């Protein structure tokens, strides 16, 4: 599985905040994602009703997951394909490697797949002498830069044009140093030219899946670049990487969810390409692969069924929660330390890696609620982050100072008379010391606050004191 | 409910009680203007949200029980905070979801609990106030009030009736200020980045006063504005609506 640095979230965040290039790259969410999504949602009067319908479809699937997965497999087999059930990342990597070896593969092309990231497939293939080539432009860029994606749908959103040009010049040995790469079209042309020969030469094509359709055994991808189609139709073998919650009952269900997916992700009504694959090439087909394999990955998801985290399995990876999250916008995706960043990652990562590794993520939220308000699948993300905090609290994983502070406060809060007394003393003392300036620049035990901002001083008496006095007078 | 004035229990909130009683008295004044008889149960401390959001359900439940017992005899519970009112309204029933005895009591209290401005406008039908405030103000939508309770237009409507007040919209008014309760001290670097963007937006409006409906957010923003040396004054919206904005603003020295 992909190595995680989620336990270093605080340090990762500090590094991100101190990186001026990253901070600049993170400055465009309002225009590029938030405004576009809002316009797309406003143009569709039934958008919120579709969100309800999409939620209900996935809830139904999750209650009957075994049924729909078995039905999906039967249909894949009927169409001449094969389903590989993989309980964990190791099993999935081995299955892919085996298929590649059996096909005598030297290079594989890859469409964008978060499951590919989750199981660290590229590293595994490369270690066994098979060269993986990412064909999604963003994924291609980060592959050259040897780094993981920082966003679900815009994997290289943290990279600017100059850095892309540098990566191309370093990797493309015969690239004329005089050729300008300053503008996006030039970068695109360069990547396209490089990738064309790779598409044609690849022995195996690997894609992800946005949906698996139980009634037909089809897999569905949505892309904007068309790279997925070339990846899956040109090579002799097509491997689909999917986690098991991607299944939906019918084509109709997929189309319902597709209507909220692109609008939530990029503000498009539909992505440019929506591609359905059903089995390998049939006798009269003009093109298509000779073999069709679906890697069906569990990797901890079935453990979430029946728990307070089941709703997370409705997620369709649109990225809306990231785009609207002020914490994600402040630190970017890499700070989260694993494959899935932002609010969805703050719930999913502890589910898959354990709260010991990923305990920071559900804590690093103000519970502002913006993620839930835009989630097309109506996943109650803050509520589930709070559930993770409860698990941590039960296991005493929070820092000792925070736990003791909380216990002391709770002790007082449960004793109103004592609380009134303590509050009056605190208000009196802080009020007396703070009266001259009206605020504190620093204060013992309040360093977390006063490192960055002043602390307003209390007025000097508590409301309860003043209210009691007013009652006595009147 | 009986005849006569509506009996409202004021849930002062721990921050207003400790830091800024003026907000509590402003709330009392506005509620009385709206024809309510206001009482302040002495057995109140906090709504329990710090425990709840730290994963400490047992303490959160114990505090919630205390609040329910102290407040359930009144017609309404009103808090000058969307965050605390949201805790009672949206989360108390969740805390007692598996407690058949307490759940109906939690729900009953939740249904009668309101944030101050929403109560004045939506329940009491207040559409204007008699206060005066000479200045250009901008308004920040605190997250819980906005997204848990749907408070958006009500405070703006009342502010627009204040004589002498000119209101400027705040770009990004719906974006969190980075307070987040214990978040601001658990993740101070990220919180700092968020509040820094908020103060930059505020300063760009040219307003001389920032208002909002939650003291936690206000203390965060005021503290940052003051650390950065900006002269923008920060107040709870109730102070302006009640005509009680003559004293020092949040974090300002008494004369």
Q: Are residues B151 and B100 in the same domain?
A: no
Last residue of a domain, one of B74, B93, B122: B122
ipTM value greater than 0.95: yes
Same-domain status, B163 and B231 = yes
In a domain, B112, yes or no: yes
Mutation for testing the B interface, residue in A368, A429, A443, A471 having most B CBs under 10 Å: A368
Which pair of structure tokens corresponds to residue B253? 């020295």
What is the structure's pLDDT at B1?
47
Interface test with A, best of B15, B19, B79 (most A CBs within 10 A): B19
Cβ(A108)–Cβ(A204) below 8 Å: yes
Write the pLDDT tens digit of every residue in B88-112: 999 999 999 999 999 999 999 999 9
Residues B118 and B131 in one domain: no
- The C-alpha atoms of residue A160 and residue A145 are separated, in whole angstroms, by 12
Question: Measured between beta carbons, which residues in chain A are less than 8 angstroms from residue B55?
Answer: 386, 388-394, 398
Chain A nearest-CA residue for B178: A366
User: How many domains does chain B contain in total?
Assistant: 2
Q: Is B195 on the interface with A (CB under 8 A)?
A: yes
Which B positions 156-175 lie with beta carbon below 8 A of chain A? Answer: 172, 174-175
Question: Do both B106 and B65 map to the same domain?
Answer: yes
Element of type H or E holding B24? helix B21-33
Minimum-distance CB partner of A438 among B43, B227, B248? B248
Q: Residue B249: inside a domain, yes or no?
A: no
pLDDT band at B217 (very low <50, low <70, confident <90, very high): very high
B107 and B18 co-located in one domain? yes
Q: What is the DSSP string of A285-324?
A: -SS--SEEEEEEE-TTHHHHTTSTTGGGGG-----HHHHT
Q: Which of A409, A438, A441 sits opposite B254 (nearest CB)?
A: A438
Query: Among partner residues A13, A30, A427, which is closest to B189 by beta-carbon distance?
Result: A13
Subunit contact B178:A419, Cβ cutoff 8 A: no
Residues B137 and B181 in one domain: yes
DSSP 8-class letter at B148: I
- For residue B50, tell me if it sits in a domain: yes
* Averaged pLDDT for residues B131-160: 98
Interface-testing mutation among A324, A369, A410, with chain B (most B C-beta atoms within 10 A)? A410
Q: Is residue B188 part of a domain?
A: yes
| Contact assignment for B148 to A369 by CB distance below 8 Å | yes
Q: Of B73, B102, B122, which one is at a domain's C-terminal end?
A: B122
Average pLDDT over residues B193-205: 98
Residue contact B223–A454, C-beta within 8 A: yes
Q: Which of B18, B220, B253 sits opposite A462 (nearest CB)?
A: B18
Inside any domain, residue B253: no
CB pairs under 8 A between A and B: 206
Query: What CATH number did the domain enclosing B131 receive?
Result: 3.40.50.11810
Portion of chain A with pLDDT greater than 90, in percent: 90
Q: What are phi and psi of A204, to 5 degrees?
A: -130, 140
pLDDT tens track for A444-466: 888 889 999 999 999 999 999 99
With contacts defined as CB-CB under 8 Å, which chain A residues touch B151? none
Name residue, tokens 């001026």: A20
Q: Of all helices (H) and strands (E), which one includes residue A275?
A: strand A273-277
The chain A residue lying nearest B186, using CA atoms, is A448
* B94 and B175 in a common domain: no
Nearest CA in chain A to B149: A369
CA-wise closest residue to B92 among B79, B110, B108, B75 = B110
In the listed set B66, B89, B122, which residue is the last one of a domain according to the structure?
B122
Q: Verify that B24 and B116 share a domain, yes or no.
A: yes
Residues B36 and B75: their CA atoms lie apart, in Å, by 10
Residue B250 belongs to some domain of the structure: no
Half-sphere exposure of B132 (CA within 13 A, CB side): 2
Does B178 lie in the same domain as B111?
no
Interface touch A14/B180, C-beta < 8 Å: no
Give B3's pLDDT tier (boundaries 50, 70, 90).
low
- Does residue B97 lie within any of the structural domains? yes
B176·A427 Cβ contact <8 A: no
Residue B31 lies in domain: 6-122
Mean pLDDT check: name the lowest of A428-437, B136-145, B158-167.
A428-437
Closest listed residue to residue A18, CA positions, set A344, A245, A396, A335: A335
If asked whether residues B118 and B226 sit together in one domain, one would say: no
- Predicted confidence at residue B125, as pLDDT, reads 98
pLDDT at A148: 94
Domains in chain A, ordered, with CATH?
6-302 (3.40.50.10420), 408-473 (no CATH)
Give the residue ranges of chain A where pLDDT is below 70.
Answer: 474
Q: What is the CATH number of the domain that holds B62?
A: 3.40.50
How many angstroms separate the Cα of A126 from the Cα of each of A97, A142, A380?
10, 16, 39
- B251 interfacial to chain A (CB closer than 8 Å): yes
Sort strands B233-236 and B209-212 into parallel, antiparallel or unpaired: parallel
- B254 in any annotated domain: no
Nearest to A230 by CA among A282, A195, A280: A195
Mean pLDDT of B38-66: 96
Angstroms from B182 CA to nearest CA on chain A: 8
Task: Give yes or no: residues B51 and B34 share one domain.
Answer: yes
Is there a single domain that holds both residue B109 and residue B137?
no
Q: Which residue has the higher pLDDT, B207 or A178?
A: B207
Model confidence at B179: pLDDT above 70: yes
């Amino acid at each position: 599985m992909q190595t995680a640095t989620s336990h270093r979230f605080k340090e990762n965040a500090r590094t991100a905040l101190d990186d001026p290039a990253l901070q600049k790259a993170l400055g465009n969410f309002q225009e590029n994602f938030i405004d576009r999504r809002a316009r797309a949602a406003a143009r569709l009067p039934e958008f919120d009703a579709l969100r309800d319908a999409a939620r209900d479809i996935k809830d139904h699937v999750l209650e009957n997951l075994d049924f729909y997965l078995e039905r999906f497999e039967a249909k894949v087999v009927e169409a001449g394909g094969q389903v590989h059930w993989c309980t964990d990342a190791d099993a999935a990597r081995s299955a892919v490697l085996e298929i590649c070896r059996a096909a005598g593969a030297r290079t594989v092309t890859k469409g964008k797949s978060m499951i590919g990231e989750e199981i660290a497939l590229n590293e595994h293939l490369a270690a066994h002498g098979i060269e993986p080539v990412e064909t999604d432009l963003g994924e291609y860029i980060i592959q050259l830069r040897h780094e993981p994606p920082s966003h679900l749908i815009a994997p290289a959103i943290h990279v600017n044009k100059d850095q892309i040009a540098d990566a191309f010049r370093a990797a493309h040995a015969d690239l004329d140093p005089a050729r300008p790469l300053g503008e996006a079209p030039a970068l695109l042309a360069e990547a396209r030219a490089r990738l064309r020969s790779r598409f044609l030469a690849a022995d195996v094509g690997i894609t992800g899946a946005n949906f698996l359709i139980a009634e037909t055994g089809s897999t569905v991808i949505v892309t904007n670049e068309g790279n997925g189609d070339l990846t899956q139709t040109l090579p002799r073998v097509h491997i689909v990487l999917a986690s098991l919650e991607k299944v939906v009952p019918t084509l109709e269900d997929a189309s319902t969810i597709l209507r909220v997916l692109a609008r939530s992700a990029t503000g498009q009504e539909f992505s440019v390409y929506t591609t359905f694959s059903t089995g390998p090439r049939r006798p009269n087909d003009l093109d298509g692969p000779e073999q069709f394999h679906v890697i069906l990955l569990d990797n901890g998801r079935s453990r979430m069924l029946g728990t307070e985290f089941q709703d997370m399995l409705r997620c369709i990876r649109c990225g809306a929660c990231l785009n609207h999250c002020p914490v994600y916008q402040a630190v970017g995706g890499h700070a989260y330390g694993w494959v899935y960043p932002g609010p969805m990652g703050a719930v999913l990562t502890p589910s898959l890696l354990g709260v010991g590794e990923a305990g920071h993520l559900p804590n690093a939220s103000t519970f502002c609620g913006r993620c839930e308000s835009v989630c097309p699948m109506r996943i109650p993300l803050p509520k589930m982050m709070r559930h993770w905090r409860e698990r941590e609290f039960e296991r005493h994983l929070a820092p000792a100072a925070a736990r003791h502070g909380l216990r002391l406060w709770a002790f007082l809060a449960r004793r109103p008379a004592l609380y009134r007394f303590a509050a009056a003393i605190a208000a009196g003392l802080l009020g007396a010391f703070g009266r001259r300036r009206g605020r504190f620049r620093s204060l013992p035990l309040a360093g977390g606050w006063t490192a960055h901002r002043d602390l307003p001083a209390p007025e000097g008496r508590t409301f309860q004191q003043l209210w009691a006095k007013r009652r006595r007078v009147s | 409910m009986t005849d006569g004035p509506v009996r409202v229990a004021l849930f002062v909130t721990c921050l207003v009680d400790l830091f800024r009683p003026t907000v509590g008295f402003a709330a009392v004044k506005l509620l009385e203007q709206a024809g309510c008889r206001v009482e302040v149960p002495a057995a109140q401390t906090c709504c329990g949200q710090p425990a709840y959001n730290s994963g400490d359900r047992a303490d959160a439940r114990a505090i919630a029980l205390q609040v329910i017992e102290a407040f359930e005899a009144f017609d309404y519970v009103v808090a000058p905070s969307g965050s605390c009112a949201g805790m009672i309204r949206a989360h108390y029933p969740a805390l007692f979801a598996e407690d058949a005895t307490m759940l109906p009591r939690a729900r009953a209290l939740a249904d009668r609990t309101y944030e101050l401005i929403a109560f004045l406008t939506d329940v009491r039908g207040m559409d204007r106030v008699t206060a005066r405030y000479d200045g250009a103000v901008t308004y920040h939508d605190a997250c819980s009030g906005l997204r848990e309770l749907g408070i958006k237009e009500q405070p703006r409507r009342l502010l627009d009736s204040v004589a002498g007040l000119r209101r400027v919209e705040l770009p990004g008014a719906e974006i969190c200020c980075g307070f987040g309760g214990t978040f601001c001290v658990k993740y101070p670097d990220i919180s700092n980045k968020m509040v820094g963007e908020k103060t930059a937006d505020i300063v760009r409006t040219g307003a001389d006063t920032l208002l909002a409906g939650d003291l936690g957010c206000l203390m965060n923003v005021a503290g940052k504005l003051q650390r950065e040396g900006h002269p923008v004054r920060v107040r709870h919206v109730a102070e302006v609506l009640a005509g009680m904005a003559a004293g020092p603003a949040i974090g300002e020295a008494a004369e």
